[in-house]
Amino acid sequence: MFKKFLQIFCKTVDKIVMWLGKGASFLMPILAFIVVYEVVARYLFDAPTVWAYDLSLFLFGYIAALGGAYAQQKRSHINVDILYISVSPKVKNIFNIISFSLGVFFLIIVFKMGLVKFEEALEFDYRRQSEWAPVMWHFWIMLCIASSLFILQLVRDIISEVYHLFTGLPLIEKESK
Q: Is residue 63 part of a domain?
A: yes
Q: Is residue 96 part of a domain?
A: yes
Q: Is residue 174 part of a domain?
A: no
Whether the per-residue pLDDT at 176 is higher than 60: the answer is: no
Q: pTM for this structure?
A: 0.90
Gap between the Cα atoms of 133 and 165, Å rounded: 51
What percent of the chain is predicted at pLDDT more than 90?
88
In 10 A of CB 162, how many CB atoms? Answer: 17
Q: Is residue 177 part of a domain?
A: no
Could you tell me the residue range of the domain that residue 158 belongs to? 2-167
Q: Is residue 172 part of a domain?
A: no
- The predicted-structure confidence for 33-67, as pLDDT tens digits, reads as follows 999 999 999 999 999 999 999 999 999 999 999 99
Confidence of residue 106 (pLDDT cuts 50, 70, 90): very high
CA atoms within 13 A of residue 100's CA, in its CB half-sphere: 23
Q: Is residue 173 part of a domain?
A: no
| Residue in 54, 71, 67 with CA at minimum distance from that of residue 25 | 67
Taking CA atoms, 60 is separated from 29, 34, 51, 65, 118, in Å, by 11, 11, 14, 8, 19
What is the average pLDDT value for the chain, to the nearest integer?
Answer: 93
Confidence of residue 175 (pLDDT cuts 50, 70, 90): low
Gap between the Cα atoms of 89 and 22, Å rounded: 30
The domain tally of the chain equals 1
Q: Is residue 36 part of a domain?
A: yes
Q: Is residue 144 part of a domain?
A: yes
